[in-house]
Chain A
Amino acid sequence: MTETGEVSLRPSGGASGAAARHAADAALAAELRERYGFLRQVVADMERSVPYAAALVSGVDGLRLNLRDGEQQASRRDPQHGIVLTASNGSFLEEVATDATDPAAVRRAAHDLVEGVRSRRSAAGGPADGGASPLGIDPGPPLEGDFATPVQIDPLQETLAQKLARYEALRQRVRALDRRVVQGTARYSDGVETKVFVNRAKFVTEVLHRVSLNLTVFVSDGQQRRYDWLSLGGTGGLERLAVGDEDLERMRDTAVALLSARPVPPGTYDVVTDPSVSGVLAHEAFGHGVETDMFLKDRARGAAYIGRQVGSEHVTIMDDPTVPGGYGSYFVDDEGQPATPTCIIKNGVLQQGLSDLFSATRLGITRSANGRRESFARKAYARMSNTFFAPGAYTREQVLESLEDGLLLVQASSGMEDPKGWGIQVSTHYAREYRGGRPTGVVYAPISLTGYVPDVLHHVSMVADDLELHAGGCGKGWKEYIPVGDGGPHLRTRVRLG
């Protein structure tokens, strides 16, 4: 690995496993410090003209494999490498982002940014956007540190040939599961994300290792095609991607069962949500709903409900970037705030939001570590990390056995928030019918869960103790995609399905 965190296709030499990765990441951090040490001076120079300045260098690199019948693709995962310089003009934040990161180019970009702020300020006869109140940004307490994801089985210690052989073999196992299988696909990715954040109080480096694997089986009865998938991912190494025979068999059984699935009769149902559906519920309901940039825009009803009951006493929702192995885990956010857990809802009472630098400063609230960017080329917003329902006191079996007449909702595929109206949509792959606490064998698909968020949360009557986190991607509206985790235990509630 070199200073930009790039990934070699050849195994790195030396010591093996976790210790070798730890040593390599320490060396990488030292390289990053050496290479970007000049940013301290760049920030100091900028702050001679503006009240606050910061720099973030970020890079992503890695490998992608895409395997299916008759076709194999291997590619370098979209590399990104660049710097964003931030300057407060006293009222709002102005930024320049560029992929030129050598000292001369960065100093030139910093100069242009400050000059732009100055010229707009003089054209406006004072701070730009004179209507806004002064923006007093706190750089936070001093922080010097190097952080790296612990890795047990290092993907960078394996050759491409080894990875191809492993995932093609896995795909072949999917392909051979049943005579009705018409296609099996495997998508693998590993990547290293490097960051250097600098402001007048901080100089922090971060190395994140992230892996993901998606297996999909497609079956046909000659008339129609159905499919099911297994999706794994996390921060760390290949230990996050373990697949067992039972996982593959469950995938096959589901895909085959879906060949005889019927549409769910529209209506309101008692349901149990599996951890993936619970996770998307948490994410859409009170993840997006408490991003404080949405408070600033008057787009979140939750702003008026801090300290108020918004769900049953069984509901506790967390956002935690420190979860070991979480797909959305990190050590420091993209605006230099050290990662800490945030309790969003405790026993049904809304506690606090998830903030970025600008909205926290404008609103005068305590910052959380949720200022995240899609890349150096994008603005930071208040974003989630790993968002989940906290586990409860029941076992999974107790929760399912309580379903007298209802549905188990399985495998969330997507969701959508509506922080202003508190509507929610969760698209779910399928549902299994339960009567008297037992599955009847009837399968419904597809399932659209909709409802009014407080209704859904107030109806949560049982929470199991089987917390699981899943890997996912999250957009802000229809763009700004970042990796996140979400999850929860099995939950019992009542929702509208169609």
Chain B
Amino acid sequence: MFDQIVAALEQHPGVSDWTVSHRRSRSVQLYLIGRETESLRDVASEEFDVEVCNDHPAPAAGAAGTSPGTAPATPGVEGTVRGVAGLKLVPADAGRLAQRLDDAVLMAQLVHNPPYALAAPATYPEVPLADPELVSAQGAARAGQDFAGQLWELVEREAGVRLSASELFLTYSEVELRNSRGIRVASAGTRVLSELVLLAGDGGAEEAEHFRQLQGRRLADLHLPAAVAEAAQAARDTLRARAPRTGTGPIVLSGDALIPLFEAFTYQASAAAAYMKLARFEVGESIYGQRDVTGERLTLRANALRPFGLASHCCDGDGLPGQDTLLIEDGVLRARHATQRYAQYLGIPATGAPGNTEVATGGTSLDDLLNAADGAALYHVVGFSAPDVDPITGDFGSEIRLGYEITPQGRRPIKGGSVGGNVFEAFADARFARELLERGEYAGPAGVRFAALRVSGDD
């Protein structure tokens, strides 16, 4: 079907340029409830992502479908605009390719964008993305059974804790991308996703749960023994957790509570944000604006080359090679990550899809960041219910799923209430842990201490 699609695109008079990405996936899915299997599933799917470009004369200003900014942008193509249509095809479309393609061309003829050129062939880096154990269907099925056995054994070792439920998705995908400028590149990778729910009991009717989602390229990336031990402790702590107190003060965020905060910086460093006029800072400017910076300054990279990183790739969806890009250095925006299209719109280098978020670690141990020696209570939040970070305003707030109140007298677990603030303000007075945490698409400090965030809890 791939060759048929390519041939049809090449022959269609309305197609100026094209990109096709073919993905074939196979997934083994295992669902457990306690020590029983709830469901076992085997899923196979195939799809083609087609992008069809049609260059056509710019419509008169004010004509239907025009918008400000669609004026020609490329020298030499005065009066020409580019229409782009996305067309996803599935095997059920096999008998109707010509009609599908006609529809896509019609779509592309009706939308008007500044012209841009597709990515050209390049040298692609070798980035390891696949767990060899999960490449075959039999290997994945066997790995799923082994995972269940190991999980049951690990949970059994934990006092006061039982397994409520778990899900495991083991997926192998092959992707091949071609475009009209001659790119032809293929890659293969595996992804592992597991959800783990542990229940802790006090021997009576009271129970508390801890939910954790684990993701990686390889089963080993889930670090199951450590994850179960941490989840078990978290479930036991949740059982005796109480609400925090209302106030404003120092807070350490770590692990899953911390990682989403960096998304606001990654978005603000994007060419898309700049093109949409939603970026807060320009290249060469401080990300803190006029604020005094009293903590450590942020250094952040977008790295698509990290071996087995969840967002790693040798080639992005446009056909650009994976790259490692320094976005923010010591609190100054150094570059924007830019797709092929936005890079040309802004006249900046194309870096491709951003890949993994890498943040420079700091100079203080996590233990020292958690020190409440000055006498005031310090909160350490390890999990939010649903971290909600607004990448445009920087505002964030979320319910505390689990944290700790640390005082010179000791540490007690907390849950409920919420932490709120603004990331662009908060990072102006922040200290980063020196321990490195690698989790999913993130590699960076295991924790960050913020001088002052708002806590809403018991009045």
Contacts and interface: CB of A to CB of B under 8 A. Distances in A.
Interface of A: 2, 4, 6, 8-10, 59, 64, 67-76, 78-82, 91-101, 113, 116, 128-129, 131-132, 160-161, 164-165, 168-169, 171-172, 175, 182-183, 218, 220, 224-227, 263, 266-268, 296-299, 304, 358, 377, 379, 413-416, 418, 420-421, 423-425, 427, 445-448, 450-452, 477-479, 496-498
A372 B88 CA distance: 24
A70 B457 CA distance: 45
Given A93-B39, A97-B42, A413-B388, A423 B399 contact: yes
B395 A445 contact: yes
Contacts of B40: 92, 94-95
B459 A268 contact: yes
Contacts of A71: 67, 69, 113, 275
B111 A73 contact: yes
Given A131-B36, A421-B238, 4 more contacts: A68-B67, A95-B42, A182-B278, A358-B39
Contacts of A165: 64-65
23 contacts: A68-B67, A69-B69, A71-B67, A72-B111, A79-B92, A92-B39, A93-B38, A97-B42, A116-B42, A128-B37, A131-B35, A132-B37, A164-B111, A183-B277, A263-B420, A266-B247, A267-B459, A296-B33, A423-B416, A425-B386, A448-B397, A452-B416, A497-B456
A218 B390 CA distance: 13
Q: Which of B67, B276, B454 has the most CB of A within 10 A?
A: B67
Interface residues of B, number: 91
B455 interface: yes
B456 A266 contact: yes
B385 A416 contact: yes
B98 to A, nearest CB: 14
A420 B209 contact: yes
Contact of B385 (A80, A226, A266, A423): A423
A423 B165 CA distance: 20
Nearest to A266: B456
B6 interface: no
Interface in B79-100: 83-93, 96, 100
B399 A416 contact: yes
Given A164-B110, A268-B459, A129 B92 contact: no
Contacts of B64: 161, 164-165, 168-169
A100 B209 CA distance: 40
B38 A299 contact: no
A74 B110 contact: yes
Interface in B345-379: 345
A67 B67 contact: yes
B317 interface: no
Nearest to A300: B209
Contacts of B208: 420-421
Contacts of B193: 479
A415 to B, nearest CB: 7
A379 B456 CA distance: 38
Contacts of A9: 103, 106-107
Contacts of B70: 70, 72
Contacts of A82: 45, 90
B203 interface: no
A299 B164 contact: yes
B88 A79 contact: yes
B72 to A, nearest CB: 12
Nearest to A82: B45
A294 to B, nearest CB: 9
A129 B39 CA distance: 11
Contacts of A445: 395
B31 interface: yes
A478 B197 CA distance: 13
A498 B107 CA distance: 46
B255 interface: no
B87 A76 contact: yes
A109 to B, nearest CB: 9
Nearest to A162: B64
A442 to B, nearest CB: 17
A81 B92 contact: yes
Contact of B246 (A74, A266, A477): A266
A451 to B, nearest CB: 8
B404 to A, nearest CB: 17
Contact of A95 (B39, B92, B418): B39
Nearest to A94: B40
B67 A297 contact: no
Given A79-B90, A94-B40, A297 B397 contact: no
- Ordered nearest first, which 3 A-B pairs have the shortest CB separation? A70-B69, A498-B456, A75-B86
Interface in B34-59: 34-46
Contacts of B29: 379
Q: Which of B29, B93, B110, B392 has the most CB of A within 10 A?
A: B110
Nearest to B165: A297
Contacts of B398: 425, 427, 448
Given A75-B86, A421-B208, A446-B395, A99 B417 contact: no
A92 B213 contact: no
B305 to A, nearest CB: 26
A74 B111 contact: yes
B417 A450 contact: yes
A447 B390 CA distance: 12
A369 B428 CA distance: 51
A415 B386 contact: yes
A58 to B, nearest CB: 11
Nearest to A8: B103
Contact of B418 (A73, A299, A420, A450): A450
Contact of B91 (A6, A99, A225, A416): A99
Contacts of A427: 386, 388, 397-398
Contact of B399 (A8, A59, A450): A450
Contacts of B418: 266, 425, 448, 450, 496, 498
A227 B86 contact: no
Given A268-B459, A377-B43, A75 B87 contact: yes
Contact of B456 (A74, A226, A267): A267
Given A76-B104, A160-B110, A423 B415 contact: yes
A227 B92 CA distance: 41
Contacts of B277: 69, 182-183, 218, 220
A226 B392 CA distance: 8
A414 B42 contact: no
A59 B27 CA distance: 19
Contacts of A446: 388, 390, 393, 395-397, 420
Contacts of B209: 299, 420-421
